[in-house]
Structure 1
Amino acid sequence: ALRVSSAALRTTTTGTIVNLLSSDVYRFDVALNYVHFLVTGPIQTLVVIGLLWMQLGVSCLAGIAYMVVYIPFQLFMGSYFKRFRSLSLKLTDNRLKLMNEIIPAMRVIKMYVWEKPFGRLIELSRVREIRVFQKTAVLKSINLSLYFTSSKIMTFLSIIVFISIGGELTVENVFVSIVLINHLRTIMTLNFPNAISFGAETLISVQRIEDFLLLDEYTPKPIEYSTENITNNYNETKESIYLEIVEENKTNISVNNISSEIVSKEGNVSHILNDISFDVKPGELTVIIGSVGSGKTAVLMAILNELKTNRGSVSVSGRLGYSSQESWIFRGTVKENILFVQTSGSGSVSVSGRLGYSSQESWIFRGTVKENILFGKAFDERKYKQVVHVCALEEDLKQLPFGDQTVVGERGVTLSGGQRARISLARTVYSGPDCYLLDDPLSAVDPSVAKHIFEKCIDLIKFAGDLEIRREEDLSKHHSESVSRLSLRRQSSVASLLSSCLSVDEIIPEEEVNAVTKDADEEYSDDKHKSGKTSSSRIYWTYLRAGAGVLLLPTLLISNVLTQALYTGSDYWLSEWTNYYQNRALNETNVKSWMILDTEVDNIYVFSSLVVVVFVLSVIRTVTFFTVCMRSSVTLHNRLLESVIRAPIAFFDKYPIGMILNRVSRDLESVIRAPIAFFDKYPIGMILNRVSRDLGIIDDLLPSNAFDSIQILMDCFAILVLCILVDYWTVVPTLVLLVLLIIVRQFTLGTIRTLKRVEGTARSPTLSHLASTLNGLTTIRSFGAEKDFSAKFDSLQDRHSNTYFMFMTSTRWFGIVLDQLCLVYAISITITHVSGDLSAESASAIGLTLSQAFQLTTNFQWGIRQSAEVETQMTSVERVDELRRIDREFESEVKPPKDWPSKGQIVMKDVSLHYEGSDSLVLHNINLEIKGGETVGIVGRTGAGKSSIITTLFRMTAPSGVIEIDGIDTSAISLSYLRQNISIIPQEPILFTETVRKNLDPFGDCPDDRIWEVLAKVQLQSTIAAFPHKLDQIVSESGGSFCVGQKQLICLARAILRDNKILVLDEATANVDPRTDALIQSVIRNEFSSCTVLTIAHRLHTIIDYDKVLVLDAGVVAQFGSPLHLINDSDGIFAQMIETTGKDMEQSLRQTALKASIKKQNQIIDDST
């Protein structure tokens, strides 16, 4: 995965790659248990046929003829198994892809109250998948029924022909033939077909893995480290790092007439870059500016060799560093902004030295803050402290409970957007490259922090050669002597597909620190159950009750008992018939069982009737069992889906995607219904792991193994009962065998279960690491950290392989011990009979018990092993059931009046808030009143509590105190009703792989005319109309059909369509250019003029004309009033924030605030008159 090119990686998804590792690779383990039978099966068959010929002569060919017909039938069935397996894998990939989008976006989904439509999407995907599993189950039912009765059919055909040609039944030829036929059945109806079936399924997995391995690879250019051009030394000062640069007449970066283009699936060619040329000299700060879609980020991608060029060349001398601004949404690379495209051509990129890159979407992996900064580099305390200082991280580290040893969740979920951006910048600076590529590094920080970073960090590292995409023009004016600008104009409308739509404007404040943090020493675990305790009977009953109704449960029980009774009874009847023949041959006609009729024809009818009834009952039993299993799987999935959707958001932030997806894929309802804290708490890796693995076991492996274990153990139990009935002396070795089996089973299975759970625990970090690596692939490659991440993956995989190997060897040892015990039992039975009566009548009894005992030797160890496997696989049911029982968000049934809220008045009384896992308050006794129709800007430094205000308003995390909207306490009303009456435009716009219409209106409430009208208002009408399918155009994964600015405009269109009285903007224009920002502000003023608007300010000029400004500091209300009033308070925080914007901007903001104040006063006078 580390070597896949960016263009090739667009053709697949994270879910597909995770599924390759979690499911397809696992198929090899299963197939290797059977594949050798493709060679040994035919050889053993020939040997058994020869022995059968010696007993029955030519009549054995009748039974063999059935087998000859059976084998091609198995090949035919194998083709269907292969077809259904291929289809099920595709459907599973689609479901995992959907889950990979939904789980990270759960916070937004909950705010939009979209749990139901997205829950239906998952259910629909699941229904398609289950239909394929049901078809597979029908085929398995037929196969298993034929396997179960095949020995009876072969025995029946061989004996009937043998009698027809004048053969005399004897104990020897009958029961020796039964043993041989049972062995032949095992070979040709179980082992050989399984080898074909699993082999066919494995070939599909091999093809899928091969397709991935054959994807185009990223080809890194050779990097030459040389001190001839540039020397880099760190000298300690009081507060920063100085870089001593020894220059020559060679430029750091030279871009010569590069061009690049993309080719859509339809074959249309569109230019991304066209004849771009510029030079960056040592010590020069170059700023790339341009409108939306002009190709700013594409230039950096070309320099990093992530974007192929079809003309021109790029030459880099020195070490490059790249830093980004925008937090990662899904994939974490620029490829997500490309719609149905692939790059074409090959240009020339020559690099001499090291590049430092921090991507546009900040990538944070699970680990401590310190580990994220060091990124595998050796720790230098002096250098580390200097980097933390110049990147303005000192105050943030003080706020974290364990400082830089605080473990941040996957995707940096426990950090604010600004903190993620600064950690990404610190990582780049610490790496010490010769040239830095900074992708809008200041847009996510407040004015004072932006000024600090520019003066202490960027203004110093620029001497190494700095190429930067930026929008803080006011800051660059203060350093114009060292700044050169590269202006890019839009090459074509399709260029936006590769652009990240970054703007060139002012400053962006960051959201507060999420208080959900964890101890640095804490490691998540995929499974809490480390002990070897047996899965409780409650789990078995939960599984059975989920699928068996009032009718199915008794049908299943009765069919099992009757089928086994007649199956074993047919052997007993055959022994009586053989005994009758034996006595008749000895002229002992007075000895005849009541079971045997007078004529051979009648006895043949009885035998054939027994075989037919056994087959019919076997089909009924098998179909009923798999029906129960499929219904259990569907029911568990629906329950889990509900629970996951209603889970707290902290759940998803705590557990990795890999772990959750390993469980959730078949039983997802609980997760979707979980409170928001659930999503904050659990890393996405854990979720992905559970979706792809645990429910895969419940769907596929558990039903087959459970049926095997039940069928074989019932057969073994019937054999033991039969042996005791035939000769009561066999009760002694039988009881000894049972006692030994119980001891061995109890001793061994505890270890096996523990190893199985450890194996599951070791698997989740592997999948999480893979998903995280794919998300930060561009950053990893730019830092040359491929070997480190590959070594980490190898270490995790070795840990998993070690535990899996121990698990497999333990099960094999268990099988060997069982084989030995059953062999001793067979010998004991033989000794018991030999030492007793050896009359003709007892000969048939001896033949019957010995044949059954040898059959027991084969079946017992397999049945016990299968039961052990079922018990370990029931932990998957247990793990899924755990997610089903997670806490859900509190949902009141009380609904406010239909016209609520009519004004949009918001009152907070003594509101305090702390996040799960932390006792520290992020909001302290907030008291404020926002009148209906007022516009309020919310500002403050990192950790001030800005986003926590939004969290409490939406009740994502339940606060203390009272929040009233239009006089109604929000904690007393329906949660979904509350959220659907508040509109939000989030900081990170989320789009899903659905139609444009579904992304705007998933409930289908709005007619097309209304949707087109709203799209025209946000200036997206022409863009959507240009799509081939208009509103029904499928949006590519992660919203790749649109640039960031366009995605934000779609979120604005959603808010207009909802038509609510309260609108919340959570740094909504942080990642858009000035033109898009102005458009959003204009639409808000026009469309929401009578609404209450709350805006977390990302640019001060956007809220300077608001009615009021709320200034938060450390979770308390520092200031609340009109912008003009707060500006005039020279000692206040807001006035200080205005001052940090620079003299020109400060003067402009003051004038705007004064004009807005005068305008409002005049409006009040007009309204009063």
Structure 2
Amino acid sequence: TVRSSLTMIIYNKSLALPPQHVGIGEIVNMVSTDIEAVASAASHFHFLWTGALEIIYIVLLLIYEARMSSIWPIIVIVATLPIQLYIGNKVSHYSAVWIQTSGERLHLMTEILTAIKLLKFYTWEVYFSKRINEIRARESAAAASQILSRAANFAMVFAVPVLGAFACLVSLQINDPAGKIDPTLAFIVVSLLNTLRYPLLMMPLAVKSCSSALNALGAITLFMQRPQLVDHRQNASMKSDPVGKKGVVEMVKANLAWGENASSMLTNVSMHAYPGEIIAVVGTVGSGKSTLLGAMLGQTNVPQGSVRVVGKTSYCPQEAWLINTSIMDNILFGTPMDRARYTKVIEVCCLGRDLSLFAEGDQTIVAERGANLSGGQKQRVSMARAVYSHSDIVLLDDPLSALDQKVARTIFEKCIKGFLRDRTVIMVTHGLQYLYQVDRVMLMGDKGVLEYGPYTELMSLPGGKLRSLVEAHVDVNVETVLDYESEESVQRYNTIQIPSGDDVISDLVSVQVNQERPNAIREPSDTDERVLYRISQLNHGIEVDDDTMKQKAEYDHLTTNGPYHVSSQLQNIPSFARSVARNELSVLTYRSESDESHLTMENRADPHQPSKTGPITYMKKGAGGIIVSGSICVIFFAVHSIRMVLDIWVKSWTANTTGLSNQWNAAVFGVFCVSFSFGVAFRGFLLAKVTASKARRLHDSMLTSLLHAPMSFYDKTPLGRILQCAAEHQGAADDRLPDASLQFLQYAPLAIGSLIIMFLQSDWPLMPSVAVLSVIGFVILVLPHKCGALRFMSNKAKGAKPMLYSHVASSLEGLFSIRAFNAQARFRSLTLGHLDETNTWEIASQNIRFFVALYMDVVCSFAIFACAYWFVVQPAGTKVKSAVVGLALANSLQLLVFVQWMFRMLEETKGSFNSVRELQHMGENVAPEAPFVITNRKQPDESWPSRGEIIFRDIVLRYTQYGVSVLKKVNFTVNPQEKIGIVGRTGSGKSTLLVALLRIVESCQGKILIDGVDANSVGLRMLRKRIAIIPQEPVLFLGTVRSNLDPYNEVEDSAIWRALAAVHLDVIIRPMQGGLNAIVVENGRNFSLGQRQLFCIARAILSKSCIIVLDEATAAIDADTDQLIQTAIAKNFADCTVLTIAHRLNTIIDSDKILFMDAGHVAEFDTPLALLNNPASMFSSLVNQTGPESARKLRQFAEEKVAKEVAVDKK
């Protein structure tokens, strides 16, 4: 089909484009909207030539029957033709504007939805709502103008035959010597001109459809003309590799740049790597590390020099990319299963423990955007994919920065140095502590390679840049450190232990996930029978004996750690047991145990059922409410009653039964014609205005709901489904519903009126009654069954489309990975699979439509036959007036066209109401967050919070009502201006503290007090605006540098430049064209990940908040820049309360206190030195695990900090 062909053409092109030419929102819009326009025009195009032929044929028949009098209706047709062409051009113009603005809105919506969490952190909902509404105002105006133009066209279509009939009949009366009109001729003329309505109606629709298709094809053509990515990696001038096998990477004086016309970003790059070697790439933020990997993947332009890559590549990106399938499929990525290899990869990537605690093991479905995995888990799954592949060259773009030091060290030792020892590994890293263990180090900077060679050689260079860097941040003797992770520590890591405070459970639960237990990969972990027995007692309602404190403690632990009540776990006791042990796992992991549908869609009404409340709710919205909406329906029937009167008047006029003179007969007929023409125009304009108002209300409601929906909604609802609502369903409300309802309300009175006239034009209406009843019987008995099947098929097709759109969007997000693994063919196959599913339902629904159309034609033909047959078989001597026969037959002939079209438009209207129901559901049935702004009670003044005191009091937090407690009775106090370092292993609840503080998820127990004010009593906008956060995953939006730092234009330029200078971005921004108004492309792709993180820190500086939260904000930044940033943070946030989550202990060792999180509990909270002086401290143990020299330095830093504080106090 046209749809499938164009989808694959666009998808194949997108897979071959350079990264800077791939706009996800733009491509999804082409696949969802532009292709639909072209597919629709493929069928509507034929109405152009068939309509023209039909008009010519009708005009010839008119000339044959009416002779000279036919000139007048022809003049009317010709005179109104320019008007119709003008209206058609306006429809095309407004259609093009509507498509363009719809694309702009969807593009921005895609950006917003993919970064909705960050949007909530910054309270930018109002700003982006304003931007969306500005685009929406233009889009809505174009849609309304388009419908108004279409209504004007309908008015012309219905007025032209009536006015032409009036002119022709008056001419016939004037030209007749007796001043009479032959009834037979009169109804032939009326019937021919009535038939003219269909081509006059369909031709403008076809012009509109073809015009929209041409606009869409224009956009697609421009997209297809974009230059494709050229792989510059192959070059015959390169020398052959010395080892004679794959796995060789060589660059010789290569200049590397993004884009064909871009100036070289890296110059004179020379390097080599061979199998069995590890090459570490280090450098400052924006120095070109990712560009180097891009060149090895063939993603960059090489205007000078040579690049050669021999062998297969695999790639682990800095931002983990996962697809919406099982964890196992994400790791295999199309590679055949090798059980032994797979198990080993799980072990060396430290995934065994996580998989054993998922209810479905490695069959757990990864939610869209990896919403049910923590950042560390996503990164390790991404790493496992690169490691498992049978590649010769493994490219790692700083994968260890998202992991805590213990896990990072384990993966480096066991995976990179161990499992990958025979392959070529090129690793971008900010972990300088690993450099002494690699074969060569490449130091990037100044748009090129500063130093390249073996670590020992570079460290021996006097004044060497790498030596200076390493000496400033790690101990030069670090290479003497042995592997600090003993077998015992690894065993502890692979063992799940309940916190020691819960003695009974701790004694009973210990789950091993080492390599001797490969079944942990797929199956739920074993659990002690005593735990199962006691949980079984709880599940079956058996009262737990709390005579002893231990049993009571166990009961309390179970009820706290999982509100999986009796009824929810009757059939899955092991799952309940695992929920007890899941405290240390990801804060989102538990969601994988819920029904798979929770990962793909929000619970909704059955979309296959026709919407019953949708039309009523729709009529209540917008201008005038249900009264105006109901009045419009009445007006449509009232106006058509004039049309019925016209036909009856023609019968009476030609039969001379009116009692009026010929002049008065003509005058009355003319008045009816003019009244009908104005009535048709008025009802169309009224409908267009009202439906435009309702569409605006639906969009505003949906946008408000989406911007204020809780994060749990986005975790459960696929991006594709939300975008379908914003694009396809909103398009239905803007265009298809007004158009379909307009046509249905045009044809329904016409068809019903024709049946009524047929029934009334007989003294003994047996046969006409049979004709009418046959149509009614078909409508009542046959049509509902077929239409129900049609709705089912159509909704199945619509349900398959969001999955296709999500797949396309996901593919584009992971384009680097797809190309690196050479998986384009596999993803094309997946796209074809989605298209096949959609087409299966589309073809089935088309077949049902053809069946309904065929049977409706048969029934209507039978009705015409019955009507005609009745007049033929009248008994001898019965006088039947020719005017009566003409009136009945003229109306019966209209059934053949308009009954079928009426029901077609009825189904189209019902289908559009399903879209309206989806919009209503998105706008009204999504539970919102807490109030954004509170007006009914007193709020803190503008200076709040002024001190920055934070008190967590008995906080318990769950991500869903029946989820695991992620925070469990957390208690701690942060004094004003204190600097708190928050540490703990992945999934211990560190980031969840910030989620609770900012009320991204509401706590279910306890209070958070900020300067003595309960955070729950403050509106979300005030709360979040007064706390500055620097998130773990930085995001930039399409716009300018200024709009990304100060969207509300509240800060002077000088303050923005100072903030940029504080994070060392000013040297990058000043040379850019426009300065603060320099363009930031979609997702900030013209800045590196580290630079994007610096933007987030600059935002925090500009916020002037007294509470600052850093969620591993410098994980993607090199050590030098990290040191500069730490200095900037110390300087700019000296008088602020700062909460810092970090994997790098050196960034938090100088904190006033350390908060150590473990399994959702506060395990330790004290000064760094106090914890380090306690040998049993978990923090002390963590410091020791960094190695003797590093631990010594960290302890020294802590002691020096205390000494400085003592010295200051003495002064």
Asked if Structure 1 and Structure 2 have the same fold, meaning a TM-score greater than 0.5 normalized by the shorter chain, the answer is: yes
1:904-923 pair list within 5 angstroms? 904-916=948-960, 919-923=963-967
Per-residue CA shift, 1:503-528, capped at 9, x if unaligned?
99789x99944235335982535895
Give, as a single letter, the amino acid of the residue that structure 2 aligns with 1:869: E
CA deviation after TM superposition for structure 1 residue 563, in Å: 1.4
CA contact (8 A) 2:38 2:212 kept: no
Unaligned stretches of 5+ residues in structure 2:
1-10, 450-468, 476-492, 494-583
Cα separation, 1, equivalents of 2:1152 and 2:696: 53
Give, as a single letter, the amino acid of the residue that structure 2 aligns with 1:996: V
Range 204-213 or range 90-99, more displaced: 204-213
Range 760-769 or range 358-367, more displaced: 358-367
CA deviation after TM superposition for structure 1 residue 223, in Å: 9.7
CA deviation after TM superposition for structure 1 residue 38, in Å: 2.5
Residue 490 of structure 1: aligned partner:
446
Residue 169 of structure 1: aligned partner:
181
CA deviation after TM superposition for structure 1 residue 210, in Å: 2.6
1:705-1104 pair list within 5 angstroms? 705-727=740-762, 729=765, 730-731=768-769, 733-836=771-874, 842-884=881-923, 885-891=925-931, 892-893=934-935, 894-898=937-941, 899-916=943-960, 919-959=963-1003, 960-1104=1005-1149
For the structure 1 residues 558 and 50, does the alpha-carbon distance in structure 2 shift closer, same or farther, using more than 3 Å as the test?
same
The answer on 1:196 being equivalent to 2:207 is yes
Cα separation, 2, equivalents of 1:249 and 1:517: 46
Corresponding residue SS for 2:21: coil
The answer on 1:514 being equivalent to 2:525 is no
CA contact (8 A) 1:6 1:306 kept: no
Cα separation, 1, equivalents of 2:938 and 2:590: 31
Give, as a single letter, the amino acid of the residue that structure 1 aligns with 2:1127: S
Corresponding residue SS for 1:1158: helix
For the structure 1 residues 537 and 176, does the alpha-carbon distance in structure 2 shift closer, same or farther, using more than 3 Å as the test?
farther
Compute the RMSD of aligned alpha carbons.
2.7
CA deviation after TM superposition for structure 1 residue 72, in Å: 4.5
CA deviation after TM superposition for structure 1 residue 121, in Å: 1.1
The answer on 1:566 being equivalent to 2:642 is yes
- Return the match for 1:449 from 400, 404, 407: 407
Residue 11 of structure 1: aligned partner:
21
CA deviation after TM superposition for structure 1 residue 490, in Å: 1.6
Cα separation, 2, equivalents of 1:520 and 1:785: 31
Cα separation, 2, equivalents of 1:23 and 1:531: 21
Cα separation, 1, equivalents of 2:1075 and 2:250: 42
CA deviation after TM superposition for structure 1 residue 418, in Å: 1.8
Per-residue CA shift, 1:758-804, capped at 9, x if unaligned?
11111111111111011111111111111111111101110001101
Q: TM-score by structure 2 length?
A: 0.83
Per-residue CA shift, 1:136-162, capped at 9, x if unaligned?
122112101011222102212222223
Cα separation, 2, equivalents of 1:38 and 1:822: 25
1:415-430 pair list within 5 angstroms? 415-430=373-388
Per-residue CA shift, 1:189-210, capped at 9, x if unaligned?
1122222221121122222223
Cα separation, 2, equivalents of 1:453 and 1:1125: 31
- Return the match for 1:620 from 682, 685, 706: 682
- Return the match for 2:192 from 161, 180, 195: 180
Cα separation, 2, equivalents of 1:1150 and 1:531: 62
Give, as a single letter, the amino acid of the residue that structure 2 aligns with 1:932: P
Cα separation, 2, equivalents of 1:143 and 1:22: 28
- Return the match for 2:433 from 466, 469, 474: 474
CA deviation after TM superposition for structure 1 residue 736, in Å: 4.4
For the structure 1 residues 962 and 1154, does the alpha-carbon distance in structure 2 shift closer, same or farther, using more than 3 Å as the test?
same
Cα separation, 2, equivalents of 1:1104 and 1:411: 33
Give, as a single letter, the amino acid of the residue that structure 2 aligns with 1:946: K
Per-residue CA shift, 1:40-95, capped at 9, x if unaligned?
22333333233222321122132123333444544443333333222222211211
Per-residue CA shift, 1:336-379, capped at 9, x if unaligned?
xxxxxxxxxxxxxxxxx211222232211111111110101111
Give, as a single letter, the amino acid of the residue that structure 1 aligns with 2:944: W
Residue 308 of structure 2: aligned partner:
315
For the structure 1 residues 1019 and 315, does the alpha-carbon distance in structure 2 shift closer, same or farther, using more than 3 Å as the test?
closer
Cα separation, 2, equivalents of 1:563 and 1:250: 80
Per-residue CA shift, 1:164-192, capped at 9, x if unaligned?
333741121111222222222212x1122
Give, as a single letter, the amino acid of the residue that structure 1 aligns with 2:868: T
Corresponding residue SS for 1:463: coil
Residue 593 of structure 1: aligned partner:
658
For the structure 1 residues 309 and 768, does the alpha-carbon distance in structure 2 shift closer, same or farther, using more than 3 Å as the test?
same
For the structure 1 residues 6 and 491, does the alpha-carbon distance in structure 2 shift closer, same or farther, using more than 3 Å as the test?
farther
Cα separation, 1, equivalents of 2:448 and 2:431: 25
The answer on 1:215 being equivalent to 2:226 is yes
For the structure 1 residues 279 and 630, does the alpha-carbon distance in structure 2 shift closer, same or farther, using more than 3 Å as the test?
same
Give the percent of matched residue pairs that are identical in Structure 1 and Structure 2: 31
Cα separation, 1, equivalents of 2:882 and 2:153: 35
CA contact (8 A) 1:517 1:918 kept: no
Give, as a single letter, the amino acid of the residue that structure 2 aligns with 1:890: A
- Return the match for 1:206 from 217, 222, 227: 217
Cα separation, 2, equivalents of 1:890 and 1:1148: 46
Cα separation, 1, equivalents of 2:1098 and 2:230: 42
Residue 324 of structure 1: aligned partner:
none
CA contact (8 A) 1:525 1:761 kept: no
For the structure 1 residues 746 and 251, does the alpha-carbon distance in structure 2 shift closer, same or farther, using more than 3 Å as the test?
closer
For the structure 1 residues 251 and 612, does the alpha-carbon distance in structure 2 shift closer, same or farther, using more than 3 Å as the test?
closer
Corresponding residue SS for 1:33: helix
Corresponding residue SS for 1:306: coil
CA contact (8 A) 1:223 1:354 kept: no
Range 881-890 or range 8-17, more displaced: 8-17
CA contact (8 A) 1:936 1:1109 kept: yes
CA contact (8 A) 1:251 1:279 kept: no
Residue 721 of structure 2: aligned partner:
659
Give, as a single letter, the amino acid of the residue that structure 2 aligns with 1:216: P
Corresponding residue SS for 2:186: helix
CA deviation after TM superposition for structure 1 residue 564, in Å: 1.0
CA contact (8 A) 1:910 1:926 kept: yes
The answer on 1:632 being equivalent to 2:687 is no
CA contact (8 A) 1:944 1:1113 kept: yes
Matched length: 1054
Per-residue CA shift, 1:240-262, capped at 9, x if unaligned?
xxxxxx95599722211111346
Give, as a single letter, the amino acid of the residue that structure 2 aligns with 1:93: G
CA contact (8 A) 1:171 1:847 kept: yes
Q: TM-score by structure 1 length?
A: 0.86
Per-residue CA shift, 1:1034-1086, capped at 9, x if unaligned?
42211234333332232222222222221111111111122332232222212
CA deviation after TM superposition for structure 1 residue 947, in Å: 0.5
CA deviation after TM superposition for structure 1 residue 1100, in Å: 0.7
For the structure 1 residues 1102 and 972, does the alpha-carbon distance in structure 2 shift closer, same or farther, using more than 3 Å as the test?
same
Range 514-523 or range 199-208, more displaced: 514-523
Unaligned stretches of 5+ residues in structure 1:
231-245, 318-352, 494-502, 581-591, 664-690
CA deviation after TM superposition for structure 1 residue 1144, in Å: 2.5
For the structure 1 residues 249 and 371, does the alpha-carbon distance in structure 2 shift closer, same or farther, using more than 3 Å as the test?
closer
CA deviation after TM superposition for structure 1 residue 1019, in Å: 3.7
For the structure 1 residues 868 and 388, does the alpha-carbon distance in structure 2 shift closer, same or farther, using more than 3 Å as the test?
same
CA contact (8 A) 1:935 1:1092 kept: yes
- Return the match for 1:641 from 691, 696, 703: 703
CA contact (8 A) 1:579 1:841 kept: no
- Return the match for 1:288 from 281, 287, 309: 281
Cα separation, 2, equivalents of 1:270 and 1:50: 68
Give, as a single letter, the amino acid of the residue that structure 1 aligns with 2:194: N
For the structure 1 residues 1109 and 539, does the alpha-carbon distance in structure 2 shift closer, same or farther, using more than 3 Å as the test?
farther
Cα separation, 2, equivalents of 1:282 and 1:384: 22
For the structure 1 residues 809 and 513, does the alpha-carbon distance in structure 2 shift closer, same or farther, using more than 3 Å as the test?
same
CA contact (8 A) 1:368 1:408 kept: yes
